[in-house]
């Protein structure tokens, strides 16, 4: 039963992700993205990692895509700014690479027995995730804090450069 649901929702997720790429209007892309993220959240749920699934919905769907939609709305896209005609060349290339890649994956997954033997620690609830975060992945967690600070500063520099220059001109 779980396998059936898994297949259904993975196909759903892939279709939604395709929708992000091929939609001609930015707002359709954004909503396809919401669907893709929901699909991913359901996949996580089927894997038994309910916490990650909730985070997926809260952070990606709740915060990030909503921001996307806001930006798209604020930009006030006119008719001519949507992609009027999709070029065939890139589409053919994309189709070929997807085809090749899915062959690779399908061929590999055909004998998926191997994956049951690898012992990947299952972290499904907050407690086990935080234990892992502060023991096994502590160093990565610390680097992440530096990384986030760097990101904030970078974003400020990009957004504020204009303002500072104007201030210097006065």
Q: Applying CB under 8 A, which residues contact other proteins?
A: 104, 107-112, 114-115, 118-120, 134-140, 143-144, 146-147, 149-151, 153-154, 156-158, 160-162, 164-165, 168
- Minimum distance from residue 159 beta carbon to other proteins (Å): 10
- Give 1 or 117: the residue with its C-beta nearer to other proteins: 117
- Give 70 or 141: the residue with its C-beta nearer to other proteins: 141
Q: Long-range pairs for 60-64 at CB < 8 Å and ≥24 separation?
A: 61/34, 61/37
- Give 50 or 154: the residue with its C-beta nearer to other proteins: 154
- Minimum distance from residue 147 beta carbon to other proteins (Å): 5
- Give 1 or 110: the residue with its C-beta nearer to other proteins: 110
- Give 93 or 108: the residue with its C-beta nearer to other proteins: 108
Rounded CA gap, 133 and 76, in Å? 42
Residue 18 sits at the vertex; the CA angle it makes with 151 and 55, to the nearest 5 degrees, is 45
Q: How many CA atoms lie within 13 A of 78 on its CB side?
A: 1
Asked if 3 and 65 count as a contact pair (C-beta separation under 8 A), the reply is no
Helices (H), the chain: 2-22, 26-46, 50-55, 66-75, 88-109, 113-117, 126-134, 138-169
Rg (CA), the chain: 21
């Amino acid at each position: 039963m779980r396998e059936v649901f898994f297949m259904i929702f993975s196909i759903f997720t892939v279709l939604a992700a395709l929708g992000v790429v091929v939609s001609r209007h930015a707002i359709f892309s954004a909503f396809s993205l919401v669907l893709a993220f929901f699909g991913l959240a359901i996949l996580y749920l089927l894997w038994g990692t309910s916490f990650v699934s909730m985070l997926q919905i809260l952070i990606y769907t709740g915060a990030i895509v909503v921001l996307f939609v806001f930006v798209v709305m604020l930009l006030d896209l006119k008719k001519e700014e949507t992609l009027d005609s999709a070029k065939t060349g890139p589409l053919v290339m994309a189709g070929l690479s997807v085809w090749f890649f899915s062959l690779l994956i399908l061929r590999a997954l055909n004998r998926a027995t191997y994956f049951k033997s690898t012992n990947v620690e299952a972290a499904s609830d907050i407690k086990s995730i935080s234990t892992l975060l502060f023991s096994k992945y502590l160093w990565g967690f610390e680097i992440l804090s530096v990384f986030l600070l760097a990101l904030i500063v970078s974003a400020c520099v990009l957004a504020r450069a204009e303002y500072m220059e104007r201030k210097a001109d006065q």
